[in-house]
Amino acid sequence: MAEESVKITKKLGDIASIWVGHPLRGTIPDDSGSGIYMVQPRNIDEFCQVDWSSVVETKLEWRGKSRWLDVGDVIFRMNGRTNHATFIDKIDLPDNARVACHHQFFHLKVHDTDVNPAYLAWFINLPEMQEVLAESKLGVGTGPVVNRRMLSELSVGVPSAELQKSCLELWSGYVDARRASGRELAKMAGMYHESVQVLIGSGGR
């Protein structure tokens, strides 16, 4: 086996600190001008990226230490049909905005310098890892969840920095291609509907 393909395995809990997102009851109140924003599950798009245009400004009460999201952090959806991770590559909000994540997320801050946080999110989202997480869920009622112990025990393959970068470049290329394809399909759909309206309006003449 080539040397660059050899990887070690580490427990996620040894790679990153893990906290539960901000606890809330009921709906999230709008509070324009507060400078505080809340990332919710509905703000995550199909490519596991934050749609910052949909993140609401709100008011939060803290009973403990406040933990704000920083660029380079990872958030992980603990419940729901899928349990994807999102790398915070940017915070596309006004300057000095403070951002928290909803309590349906775990907030991860990577401290292992051998692991690129973006790679960690990509690795968690692999189908094989999603299967492992699905099998480890516990609970009924409101739905099974991945608890902190389960997430901490997840085995993460850690290749070289070069291979981590290559994995991320492949993913980025795939996402760009999917987005471009979506725009092209939307354009074609618009042209189709316009053509249909012209034909109907002309009465088939």
Rounded to an integer, the average pLDDT of 103-119 is: 97
What whole-number distance in Å separates Cα of residue 84 and Cα of residue 109?
16
- Higher local confidence (pLDDT), 33 or 101: 101
Q: Summarize pLDDT for 140-161 with one digit per residue, the tens.
A: 655 789 999 999 999 999 999 9
What whole-number distance in Å separates Cα of residue 97 and Cα of residue 112?
27
Report the DSSP beta bridge partners of residue 145.
138
Q: How many CA atoms lie within 13 A of 193 on its CB side?
A: 5
Task: Please tell me the predicted confidence (pLDDT) of residue 2.
Answer: 43
Secondary structure in 3-state letters for 112-140: CCCCCHHHHHHHHCCHHHHHHHHHHCECC
Rounded to an integer, the average pLDDT of 64-75 is: 89
* 169, pLDDT greater than 70: yes
pLDDT band at 1 (very low <50, low <70, confident <90, very high): very low
